């Protein structure tokens, strides 16, 4: 907490008092992300859409992109379904639509006094004030062939967002969940003492979990080009299905965020307070240990259809003081780490994205944790050569079929990447990985085919195949990043999938019908096969309202 307080005190002196128009952000897993991907590729050179690697995305930026797309429908060859999604997206961002009159599009009869817009249960918009309040609900019944017990997910909550005088943005998201997940996830939770994506949890009816998810942020523009955000939430950095830099797989965290946007440049500086690795006890309350992280990312459109980025981060912890050297919002954390004795875990990375022919996007990331060229040339598989690579493709309107979209992605992560010599510096939060959920020592291949034939129906097929190195004989071969890398089995001989390669397959089919704005009736079928283990099929059916659907793809 001290590091966040330091940032806030410093900001009082270095940031101007005058404020400009500000915006809230999309919530995690927003349905707008599908249209965002399609518009970014079709528009190709939109300088703001090309910074969509930063998720959640700005509603203000998004609404400007909707206006630009609407002005040139023919140039971007938007389908009937695209135009429908565009119009519904405007309804989900009415605080920026000055032409929209609340209550002009509701068809709910006696409920018209509540639903003044189809997207918001309660909404108020006045000259200097906007607020929307919506329920959050997810009711899923699951059948898992690994057990005769009924599995389910029961989530209830509320989502609020607000603008004050077009100067201050605020949003809050609070839910409570009782979940009896598939059996394989039970095993994962018991191993790591963490529910993926959640923080503190309690046991529920022996095989279930009860947990809260409370997020909130406040935003303002310090200057015309600088956005400031403070809160408790998640972030995703990347253009792919996975991120090697920072994903939203782990629990939310406390943060202070600066985002500088000027023309073709965008720069992000984020300071985070994290929960360090811990052993959970259920018989008494315990103060969890803390650690901190800083990330910087700068990206540049040059030319506009090509976006290049540079990333760096560092994870650190101190018992007696905050490391002020890392609070500098300007890049180059590695020299600062060297000055304090290099005890912390630092990373650098590069990313790129190219929109081609208004149909294809190529993207990729390279993350470097540690390496020495001497050992690379020797090709002996030195344990300290730690890096990761991602390459991907998005192809929209496949074979000329409108709204049939394909995504292919590959992720290669060498052994021991994201780990550290102690449990403080590893790239984790709340006993969960902060980047790839499968951790390290993996080769992963992903294929996603999504089809929206008509406005309210969406179908998706997803297949994930990966090979992982298995820790055997009680020795550390670099898959589990929670283990100290000083417990490694040897000095060299570490390669992808070594020493024992396990093949894994996860296939998912998803079908959804949106019968009311943001209210989905949906079903899922999963097939899992782990080499050396039994096949597993589980399915779900239920309702989801104003929240992200639960994924079981790890």
24: left (phi over 0), alpha (psi -120 to 50) or beta: beta
Q: Which of 166, 109, 186, 173 is nearest to 137 (CA)?
A: 173
Whole-number pLDDT of residue 13? 34
Q: What is the number of alpha carbons within 13 Å of residue 231 lying toward its C-beta? A: 20
CB atoms within 10 A of CB 421: 13
Q: What is the CA radius of gyration of the chain?
A: 23
What secondary structure, in 3-state letters, does 63-132 show?
HHHHHHHHHCHHHHCCCHHHHHHHHHHHHCCHHHCCCCCCCCCCCCHHHHHCCCECCECEEEEECCEEEE
What ranges make up the beta strands (E) of 181-289? 201-204, 208-221, 226-233, 236-237, 253-262, 265-275
Number of residues in the chain: 554
What pTM does this model have? 0.91
Give every CB contact of residue 482 below 8 A, 6+ residues apart in sequence: 192, 277, 419, 423, 426, 428, 431
Q: Measured between alpha carbons, how far is 230 from 24 in angstroms, rounded to an integer?
A: 12
Give the model's pLDDT for residue 253. Answer: 96
Tokens at residue 520, please? 């989905």
Q: How many helices (H) and strands (E) does the chain have?
A: 8, 24
Helix (H, G, I), strand (E, B) or coil at 137: strand
Return the pLDDT at 419: 93
User: What is the 8-class DSSP label of residue 497?
Assistant: T
Residues 2-27 pLDDT 10s:
444 443 334 433 333 333 445 688 98
Q: What is the pLDDT of residue 332?
A: 73
Closest CA to 154 of 479, 540, 487: 540
Q: Which two tokens stand for residue 393?
A: 């493709």
Q: Can you give the pLDDT at residue 4?
A: 41
157 bridge partner residues? 136, 175
Cβ proximity of 420 and 440 under 8 Å: no
**Per-residue pLDDT tens over the stretch 498-518:** 777 899 999 999 999 999 999
Domain 2-545 indexed as CATH 2.30.30.830: no
The DSSP bridge pattern shows strands 253-262 and 226-233 to be antiparallel
Residue 1: predicted pLDDT: 42
**Parallel, antiparallel, or unpaired for β 151-164 and 168-180?**
antiparallel
Would you call 127 exposed, middle or buried from its count of C-beta atoms within 10 A (0-12, 13-18, 19+)? exposed
Parts of the chain with a pLDDT under 50: 1-21, 104-105, 109-110
Question: What pLDDT score does 24 carry?
Answer: 80
Distance, in Å, from the CA atom of 227 to the CA atom of 554, rounded to the nearest integer, reads 34
- Spacing of C-alpha 375 from chain mean position: 34
Helix (H, G, I), strand (E, B) or coil at 513: strand
Measure CA 49 to chain center: 17
Q: Is 171 exposed, middle or buried (0-12, 13-18, 19+ CB in 10 A)?
A: buried
**Phi, psi torsion values for 153, nearest 5 degrees:** -135, 130
Q: What is the pLDDT of residue 428?
A: 96
Question: How many angstroms separate the Cα of 236 from the Cα of each of 7, 118, 250, 252, 536?
Answer: 22, 29, 10, 11, 30
- Are 418 and 433 in contact, with CB atoms under 8 Å apart? yes
The pLDDT of residue 472:
77
Contacts of 18 (CB under 8 A, 6+ apart): none
């Amino acid at each position: 907490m001290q590091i966040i307080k330091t940032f806030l005190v410093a900001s009082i002196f270095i940031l101007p008092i005058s404020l400009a128009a500000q915006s809230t952000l999309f919530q995690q897993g927003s349905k707008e992300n599908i249209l965002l991907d399609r518009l970014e590729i079709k528009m190709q050179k939109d300088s703001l859409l090309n910074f969509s690697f930063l998720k959640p995305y700005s509603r203000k930026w998004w609404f400007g992109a909707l206006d630009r797309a609407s002005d040139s429908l023919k140039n971007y060859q938007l389908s009937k379904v695209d135009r429908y999604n565009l119009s519904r997206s405007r309804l989900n961002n009415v605080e920026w639509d000055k032409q929209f009159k609340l209550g002009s599009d509701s068809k709910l009869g006696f409920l018209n006094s509540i639903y003044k817009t189809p997207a918001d249960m309660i909404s108020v918009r006045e000259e200097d004030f906007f607020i929307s309040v919506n329920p959050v609900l997810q009711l899923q019944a699951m059948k898992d062939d690994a057990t005769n017990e009924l599995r389910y997910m029961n989530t209830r909550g509320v989502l609020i967002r607000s603008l004050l005088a077009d100067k201050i943005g605020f949003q809050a998201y609070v839910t409570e969940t009782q979940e009896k997940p598939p059996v394989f996830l039970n095993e994962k939770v018991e191993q790591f003492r963490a529910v993926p994506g959640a923080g503190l949890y309690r046991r529920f009816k022996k095989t279930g979990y009860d947990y809260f998810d409370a997020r909130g942020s406040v935003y303002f523009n310090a200057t015309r080009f600088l956005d400031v955000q403070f809160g408790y939430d998640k972030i995703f950095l990347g253009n792919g299905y996975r991120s090697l830099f920072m994903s939203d797989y782990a629990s939310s965290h406390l943060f202070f965020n600066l985002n500088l946007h000027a023309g073709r440049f965008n720069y992000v500086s984020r300071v985070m307070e994290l929960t360090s690795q811990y052993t959970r006890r259920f018989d008494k309350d315990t103060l969890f240990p803390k650690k901190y992280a800083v990330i910087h990312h700068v990206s540049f459109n040059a030319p506009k259809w090509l976006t290049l980025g540079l990333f760096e981060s560092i994870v650190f912890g101190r018992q007696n003081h905050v490391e002020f050297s890392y609070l500098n919002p300007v890049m180059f954390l590695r020299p600062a780490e060297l000055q304090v004795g290099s005890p912390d875990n630092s990373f650098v990375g590069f990313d790129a994205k190219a929109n081609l022919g208004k149909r294809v996007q190529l993207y990729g990331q390279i993350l470097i944790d540690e390496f020495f060229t001497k050992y690379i040339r020797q090709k002996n598989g030195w344990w300290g050569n730690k890096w990761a690579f991602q390459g991907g493709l998005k192809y929209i309107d496949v074979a000329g079929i409108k709204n049939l979209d394909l995504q292919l992605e590959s992720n290669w992560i060498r052994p021991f990447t994201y780990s550290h010599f102690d449990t403080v510096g590893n790239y984790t939060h709340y006993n969960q990985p902060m980047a790839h959920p499968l951790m390290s020592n993996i080769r992963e291949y992903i294929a996603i085919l999504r089809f929206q034939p008509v406005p309210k129906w969406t179908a998706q097929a997803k297949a994930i195949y990966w090979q992982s190195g298995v820790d055997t004989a009680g020795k550390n071969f670099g898959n589990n990043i929670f283990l100290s890398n000083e417990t490694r089995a040897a000095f060299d001989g570490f390669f992808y999938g070594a020493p024992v390669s396990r093949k894994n397959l996860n296939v998912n089919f998803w079908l959804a019908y949106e019968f009311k704005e943001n209210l989905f009736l949906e079903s899922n079928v999963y097939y899992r096969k782990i080499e050396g283990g039994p096949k597993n099929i589980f399915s779900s059916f239920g309702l989801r309202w104003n929240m992200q659907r639960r994924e079981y793809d790890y």
